[in-house]
């Protein structure tokens, strides 16, 4: 049975210039122990759909779906309080800007222990021990000393490690990583991706990686969903996506990679006509 | 015939972080003696991770900030902005395109004025001529006449970057510094902007200094590559030399960390995963 | 030229109209702000049309009608709808004319404080260093005094009168604009478009006033509206203390001061000027709130 199953998700925003449909009928499912990558460019609705599942969108958003099941519970039917019990515990998320996602006023240790206090019913000593254990798991040196550090005393890569520690603190069944390495340097990106995959395998989590970087997809995913302007263009396992992409849009994305350049000029999206690609996908 | 547009000798830039109430003053060496030269019509790519000093170097080359020491020659003429003597003529020769297309255009300025401003400041060209030249340049970077009177917020990131490139070219510079010009853009738009840059280089015989952290882009666009690490140039050579035989261990680390999107490496990864 | 302007009007219009439409969308979401705007617009109309709608001249004294109550009270007369004061002047007419003074004070004081504050603030924020330190310490000193007290002292030095009161209030309000401008300029100065203009060869004056300043206007407009009401309030207070507009000027604060001794015998002579001040200030303040909602991008929802 799939861990997360979404059918026909639609998200609409109420804006000054009328309603705007950010996600238009996306369906997806993630199994336990599976790494799903959602890839798309800005405005493809890849982040919005995940925020909608987490219930983290502002009140101006209208979320509808035919089905929204997580681990056997229907998310749409849950009240705010019940939903909060799942979010952060069984379903956790990490974001693009590690510095901005940590509260600069509190120590790293406090922020890790806060999650444990809210969700796990541990006493003070257990929490501290678990926090040290978590920092060690995400590869931070001298974890016991580091608990007292503030976010600004750490580098971007270390902050992202702490965010991951907070996310896996309650042994979630599903981890959603929204552009987890976009703000980081390549060498740090490599370390963070390796860490995520290692933790995913160890804990048997479902992992959704949202990214715009085809390289990240190639290095992490089992299965890939390609989105464009709120719609799903293609869904395939990683090897067949790269070896034989079906939709025109995916072909365009892959050929726009500079490393695949054959001549002096790079082929661009307009050479493939994305609007025609959409028409092809919907028909 | 060697026609060197940009030459920098032993450029050093130190920042003094002033001693506050509770801390003593200290000096940060952002750039530690970088030497480089670029010939006309060529592209030098400067690669490095955040904090390696590549943007500081870009600002020195663009004559925005002075170097602490070292010599800088533009078109053979020695420039030292710390001692003044930055003539409008020299100012015109080096222009820059920034990384963030959302911050580099004045939100209260129409596109026509964005492009006309450099001419207004530097030349005595009348309004009609400024307008015509701006319009020509707008079309050259792939935008249309109807965009002339619009404000920046009405454009996408890629279009804004085209406008920023057009503005940089208004004064016919000989050297264009591109500070991560495609890092904030989507993949497909990145390809379009890279194509545009290649076309413009051919047409105007431009010399590029291309700052980037993305090795795949660098490999595509550069003639020569310099790798910077903590303010030092650890690797400097032609593209093929650097990519085929990296000398410094940091360069090798950088190459190894770059994600690979080719089918063989995906196969290898999946095989390793099933074996584990 | 004709070609240019035609092209300009065609292609700018939609953008300008859309900007206004968007502004109105956010502004109208705050219902209080819309009410404030309506009240303020009404005030402007009243001030402009005061000679046409006022039933009497503001300073005409009717000896036969001293301290006549409003028309709905016993002994009230329809000729004096809101009653008359101690020397037989029609309250309604005086109030209508008084709105002219209040708006005039608001406009003049705000423009002096705004223009002075902007110039000083831009200079401080752009040059930093000792210029900045000197300017900001001076502003801190002004801010350290209770504003009304400082205005009083200034008027005492300059001599009582409406003009001097306005100068004093403008000086007292100025530091708020200086601080706001300086902070905005410092934030904008580091943006890439400023560097780009510098690389294009723009000099400091152009950078300060053509490139940076237009992008700092939103908070200044909001502060301007709020200062408008403060100016009216301070002017009324100075008038009440006898340091502002001098009798027989129908300025609301001065009217209050003149009516002080009749507060127990004739409630209407103090209530109506007080209400006029209250309504005006309240309307402008809620309008300022709405402006902030509409102009501050941080408060906008996506």
CATH of the domain at C90: 1.10.3720.10
CA-based end-to-end distance of chain C: 40
Q: What is the pLDDT of residue A1?
A: 65
- Residues 6+ positions from B132 with CB-CB distance below 8 Å: none
Residue C73 has pLDDT above 90, yes or no: no
For the cut 80, the answer to whether the pLDDT of residue C2 exceeds it is no
Q: Do A13 and C302 touch (CB under 8 A)?
A: yes
Low-confidence ranges of chain B (pLDDT < 70): 1-2, 18-23, 85
Q: How many CA atoms lie within 13 A of C112 on its CB side?
A: 17
Residue C76 phi, psi dihedral angles, 5° rounding: -75, 155
Give me the pLDDT at residue C265, please: 85
d(CA C45, CA C50): 8
By DSSP bridging, strand A206-211 and strand A35-39 are: parallel
Predicted TM-score (pTM) of the model is: 0.83
Which two structure tokens, joined as six digits, stand for B99? 């990384």
pLDDT-based confidence at residue C263 (cuts at 50, 70, 90): confident
Q: Is the Cβ pair A60, C21 closer than 8 Å?
A: no
Q: Is the pLDDT of residue C8 over 50?
A: no
Cis-peptide into B257, omega within 30 deg: no
Q: What is the three-state SS of chain B? A: CCCEEEEEEEEEEEEEECCCCCCCCEEEEEEEEEEEEEECCCEEEEECCCCCCHHHHHHHHCCCCCCCEEEEEECCEEECHHHCCCCHHHHHHEEEECCCCCCCCCCCCCHHHHHHHHHHHHCCCCHHHHHHHHHHHHHHCCCCHHHCCCCHHHCCHHHHHHHHHHHHHCCCCCEEEEECCCCCCCHHHHHHHHHHHHHHHHHHCCEEEEEECCHHHHHHHCCEEEEEECCEEEEEEEHHHHHHCCCCHHHHHHHHHCCCCCHHHHHHHHHHHHHC
Nearest to C15 among B64, B95, B151 (CB): B151
| All residues at 6 or more sequence positions from A124 whose CB lies less than 8 Å from its CB, including other chains | none
**pLDDT less than 50: residues of chain A:** 277, 280-283
Distance from CA of A270 to the nearest CA of B (A): 9
CB contact under 8 A, A266 and B186: no
Cα within 13 Å of Cα(C9), Cβ side: 5
Query: pLDDT of B208-217, one tens digit each?
Result: 999 998 888 9
Q: How confident is the model at residue C1 (pLDDT cuts 50, 70, 90)?
A: very low
Query: How many folded domains does chain C comprise?
Result: 1
In this prediction, the answer to ipTM > 0.95 reads no
Pairs of CB atoms within 8 A across A/C = 12
Contact A60 C25 (CB under 8 A): no
**φ/ψ (deg, to 5) at B247:** -90, -40
Given a cut of 70, is residue C299 above it in pLDDT?
no
pLDDT number for residue A281: 43
Task: For each of the domains in chain B, give its residue range(s) and CATH number, in order of start.
Answer: 4-275 (3.40.50.300)
Distance from CA of A41 to the nearest CA of B (A): 6
Please give the residue range of the domain that contains residue C100: 2-299
* Alpha-carbon gap, residue B109 to C200, rounded angstroms: 15
The reply to whether residue B98 touches residue C198, judged by beta carbons under 8 angstroms, is no
A60 chain-C contacts, CB cut-off 8 A: 301-302
Measured in angstroms, the CA of C25 and the nearest CA of chain A are apart by 6
Name which of A11, A13, A14, A16 to mutate to probe chain C: the one with the most chain C Cβ atoms within 10 A of its Cβ. A16
Which residues fall within 8 angstroms of residue C135, CB to CB, at 6 or more apart?
C120, C123, C124, C178
Residues with Cβ within 8 Å of C192's Cβ and at least 6 positions away in sequence, in order, are B98, B100, B103, B104
pLDDT of amino acid A270:
61
Q: Rounded to 10 degrees, what is the CA torsion of C133, C135, C141, C142?
A: -160
Chain B contact present for C204, CB below 8 A: no
Q: Which residues in chain A touch residue B261, judged by CB atoms under 8 angstroms apart?
A: 214-215, 217-218, 242, 254, 257, 259-260
pLDDT tens-digit map of C9-56: 334 445 677 778 878 888 888 888 999 999 999 999 999 999 999 999
Phi, psi (rounded to 5 degrees) for A204:
65, 35
Residues C111-121 have a mean pLDDT of 95
Of the residues A256, A258, A274, the best mutation for testing chain B's interface (the one with the most B CB atoms within 10 Å of its CB) is A258
Average pLDDT over residues C77-99: 90
């Amino acid at each position: 049975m799939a861990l997360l199953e979404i059918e026909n998700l639609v998200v609409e925003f109420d804006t000054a210039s009328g309603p705007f449909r950010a996600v238009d009928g996306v369906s997806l499912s993630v199994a336990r122990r599976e790494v799903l990558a959602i890839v798309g460019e800005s405005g493809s609705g890849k982040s919005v759909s995940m925020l909608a599942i987490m219930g983290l969108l502002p009140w101006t958003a209208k979320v509808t779906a035919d089905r929204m099941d997580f681990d056997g519970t229907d998310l749409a039917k849950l009240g705010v309080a019940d939903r909060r019990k799942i979010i952060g515990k069984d379903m956790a998320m990490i974001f693009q800007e590690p510095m901005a996602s940590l509260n600069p006023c509190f120590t790293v240790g406090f922020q890790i222990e806060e999650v444990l206090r809210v969700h796990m019913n541990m006493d003070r000593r257990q929490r501290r021990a678990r926090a040290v254990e978590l920092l060690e798991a995400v590869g931070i040196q001298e974890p016991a000393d580091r608990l007292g550090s503030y976010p600004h005393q750490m580098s971007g890569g270390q902050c992202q490690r702490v965010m991951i520690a907070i996310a896996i603190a309650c042994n979630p069944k599903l981890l959603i990583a929204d552009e987890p390495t976009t703000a980081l340097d390549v060498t740090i990106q490599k370390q963070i991706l390796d860490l995520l995959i290692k933790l995913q395998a160890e804990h048997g989590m479902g992992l959704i990686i949202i990214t715009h970087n085809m390289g990240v997809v190639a290095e992490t995913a089992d299965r890939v969903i390609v989105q464009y302007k709120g719609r799903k263009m293609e869904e395939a396992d990683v090897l067949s996506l790269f070896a034989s992409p079906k939709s025109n849009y995916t072909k365009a994305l892959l050929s726009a990679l500079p490393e695949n350049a054959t001549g002096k000029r790079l082929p661009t999206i307009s050479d493939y006509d994305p609007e025609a690609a959409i028409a092809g996908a919907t028909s | 015939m060697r026609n060197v547009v940009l030459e920098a000798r032993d450029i050093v830039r130190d920042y003094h972080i002033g001693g506050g109430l509770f801390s003593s003053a200290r000096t940060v060496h952002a750039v530690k003696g970088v030497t480089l030269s670029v010939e006309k019509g060529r592209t030098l790519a400067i690669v490095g991770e955040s904090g390696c000093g590549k943007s500081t170097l870009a600002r020195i080359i663009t004559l925005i900030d002075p170097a602490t020491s070292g010599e800088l020659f533009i078109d053979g003429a020695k420039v030292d902005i710390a001692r003044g003597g930055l003539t409008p003529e020299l100012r015109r020769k080096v222009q820059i395109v920034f990384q963030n297309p959302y911050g580099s255009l004045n939100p209260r300025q129409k596109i026509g004025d964005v492009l006309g401003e450099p001419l207004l400041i530097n030349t005595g060209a009348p309004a009609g001529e400024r307008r015509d030249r701006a319009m020509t340049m707008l079309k050259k970077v792939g935008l249309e006449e109807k965009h002339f009177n619009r404000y920046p917020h009405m454009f996408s990131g890629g279009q804004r970057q085209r406008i920023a490139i057009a503005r940089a070219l208004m004064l016919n510079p000989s050297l264009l510094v591109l500070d991560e010009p495609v890092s904030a853009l989507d993949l497909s738009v990145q390809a379009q902007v890279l194509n545009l840059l290649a076309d413009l280089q051919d047409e105007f015989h431009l010399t590029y200094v291309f700052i980037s952290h993305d090795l795949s882009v660098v490999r595509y666009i550069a003639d020569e590559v310099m790798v910077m690490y903590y303010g030092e140039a650890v690797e400097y050579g032609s593209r093929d030399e650097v990519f085929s035989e990296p000398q410094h261990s940091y360069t090798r680390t950088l190459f190894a960390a770059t994600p690979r999107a080719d089918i063989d490496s995906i196969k290898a990864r999946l095989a390793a995963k099933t074996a584990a | 030229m004709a070609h240019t302007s035609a092209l300009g009007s065609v292609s700018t219009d939609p953008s300008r109209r859309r900007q206004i439409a968007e502004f109105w969308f956010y502004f109208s979401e705050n219902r209080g702000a819309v009410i404030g705007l309506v009240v303020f617009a009404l005030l402007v109309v009243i001030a402009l049309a005061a000679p046409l709608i006022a039933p009497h001249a503001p300073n005409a004294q009717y000896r036969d009608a001293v301290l006549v109550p409003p028309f709905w009270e016993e002994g009230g007369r329809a000729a004096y709808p809101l009653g008359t004061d101690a020397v037989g002047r029609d309250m309604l007419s005086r109030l209508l004319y008084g709105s002219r003074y209040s708006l005039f004070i608001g406009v003049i004081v705000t423009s002096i404080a705004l223009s002075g504050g902007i110039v000083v603030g831009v200079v401080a924020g752009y040059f930093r260093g000792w210029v900045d330190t000197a300017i900001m310490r001076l502003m801190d000193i002004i801010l350290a005094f209770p504003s009304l007290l400082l205005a009083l002292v200034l008027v005492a030095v300059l001599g009582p009168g409406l003009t001097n009161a306005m100068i004093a209030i403008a000086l007292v309000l100025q530091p708020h604009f200086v601080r706001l401008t300086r902070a905005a300029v410092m934030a904008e100065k580091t943006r890439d478009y400023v560097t780009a203009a510098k690389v294009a060869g723009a000099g400091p004056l152009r950078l300060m006033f053509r490139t940076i300043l237009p992008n700092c206007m939103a908070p200044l407009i909001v502060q301007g509206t709020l200062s408008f009401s403060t100016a009216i309030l301070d002017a009324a207070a100075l008038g009440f203390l006898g340091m502002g507009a001098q009798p027989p000027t129908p300025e609301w604060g001065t009217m209050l001061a003149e009516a002080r001794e009749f507060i127990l015998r004739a409630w209407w002579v103090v209530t109506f000027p007080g209400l006029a001040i209250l309504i005006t200030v309240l309307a402008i303040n809620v309008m300022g709130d709405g402006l902030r909602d509409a102009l501050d991008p941080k408060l906008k929802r996506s």
